[in-house]
């Protein structure tokens, strides 16, 4: 059995791509997208017609509406291939505006419903700011399920659990990147591999907390740099993996064992933790890595959203 098939025994595998033509190869349950992935996809010749169609059909509409319609078109194509859910992201420029995030999420859901897609097959991706988490809490009460992204810290995960969001996406690779860059020449790759990878350690802490205290929010590790990070999280609820790393797992027959399990987490002696807004903001302030990576991630998604808009305007 290859590692990908072995992983699927313990974990729901999600494809991290906007390139829906690749999905049939890996047969994932779910798929995730973000502005960067959609931008990358629409610049390929195969996807140019989707871009042109969005512009021609909705010319004269507000630019943000055309963008949402393009994102939903990609989402619908993805859902025609996979059996599960697709994640579609709210504009990152709204990351600090709770009401605007709610309004945009509701529109995205309405666009999916107009295409005959049931709400349960869509996760609205929202940045894990305090404002984003509050927006998600409101949306969940209305039956709109959310995927809280750009999550780098334990306090973000705890707040998401309190908000009863459907799913969180802790970013393993970006946590690893920060610690490696911070250590500079002193970084010991071997000592920080596998279970000792700082990104892996972060997800394990979150997973154990959720399972220990019966928090129903799903944990989906994301943003992987190598297959060692993935195999070290076998047993996590979900893992969203790029096509390149899916191929590497499929090509490997190194034995894979389960690393995370609810039963083991429930036996741990862990303190109960909760955060109000002040406590959350202070905990984020104390975590330089999370503060920097959250800001960096929002800036990058905003930049790619603007590039996508420019492509639409130029067409």
**The one catalytic residue among 21, 125, 293, 307:** 125
Closest CA to 98 of 150, 141, 136, 140: 136
pLDDT at position 24 is: 85
Counting the structural domains of the chain, the total is 1
CA 251, chain centre distance (Å): 25
In sequence order, what are the beta bridge partners of 32? 16, 87
* Host domain of residue 106: 3-314
Q: What is the DSSP code (8-state) at residue 12?
A: E
Query: Residues 44, 46, 50, 52: what is their CA dihedral angle, to the nearest 10 degrees?
Result: 70
CATH of the domain at 208: 3.20.20.70
pLDDT at position 121 is: 98
Tell me if residue 125 is catalytic. yes
pLDDT at position 229 is: 98
pLDDT at position 35 is: 82
pLDDT tens, per residue, the chain with 315 residues: 999 999 999 999 999 998 988 888 889 999 998 889 999 999 999 999 999 999 999 999 999 999 999 999 999 999 999 999 999 999 999 999 999 999 999 999 999 999 999 999 999 999 999 999 999 999 999 999 999 999 999 999 999 999 999 999 999 999 999 999 999 999 999 999 999 999 999 999 999 999 999 999 999 999 999 999 999 999 999 999 999 999 999 999 999 999 999 999 999 999 999 999 999 999 999 999 999 999 999 999 999 999 999 999 987
Closest CA to 209 of 170, 288, 266: 266
Contacts of residue 186, defined as CB under 8 A and 6 or more positions apart, other chains included, come to: none
pLDDT at position 299 is: 98
């Amino acid at each position: 059995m290859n590692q990908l098939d072995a992983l699927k025994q313990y974990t729901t595998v999600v494809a991290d791509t906007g390139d829906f033509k690749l999905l049939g190869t890996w047969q994932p349950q779910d798929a995730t997208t973000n502005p960067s992935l959609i931008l990358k996809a629409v610049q390929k010749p195969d996807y140019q017609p989707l871009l042109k169609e969005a512009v021609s059909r909705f010319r004269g509409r507000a630019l943000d509406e055309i963008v949402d319609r393009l994102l939903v078109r990609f989402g619908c194509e993805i859902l025609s291939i996979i059996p599960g859910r697709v994640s579609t992201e709210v504009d990152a420029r709204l990351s600090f505006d709770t009401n605007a995030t709610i309004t945009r999420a509701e529109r995205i859901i309405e666009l999916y419903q107009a295409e005959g897609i049931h709400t349960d097959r869509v996760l609205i991706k929202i940045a894990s700011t305090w404002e984003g988490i509050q927006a998600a809490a409101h949306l969940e009460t209305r039956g709109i399920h959310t995927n809280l992204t750009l999550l780098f810290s334990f306090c973000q995960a705890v707040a998401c659990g309190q908000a009863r969001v459907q799913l969180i996406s802790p970013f393993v690779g970006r946590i690893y990147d920060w610690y490696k860059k911070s250590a500079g020449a002193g970084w010991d790759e071997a000592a920080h591999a596998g279970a000792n990878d700082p990104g892996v350690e972060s997800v394990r802490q979150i997973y154990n907390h959720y399972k220990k205290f019966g928090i129903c929010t799903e944990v989906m590790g994301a943003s992987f740099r190598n297959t060692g990070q993935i195999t070290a999280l076998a047993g996590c609820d979900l893992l969203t993996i790029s096509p390149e790393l899916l191929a590497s797992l499929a090509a490997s027959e190194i034995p894979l064992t389960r690393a995370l399990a609810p039963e083991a987490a429930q036996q741990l002696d862990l303190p109960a933790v909760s955060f109000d807004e002040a406590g959350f903001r202070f905990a984020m302030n104390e975590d330089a890595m999370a503060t920097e990576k959250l800001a960096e991630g929002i800036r990058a998604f905003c930049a790619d959203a603007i590039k996508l808009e420019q492509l639409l305007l130029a067409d």
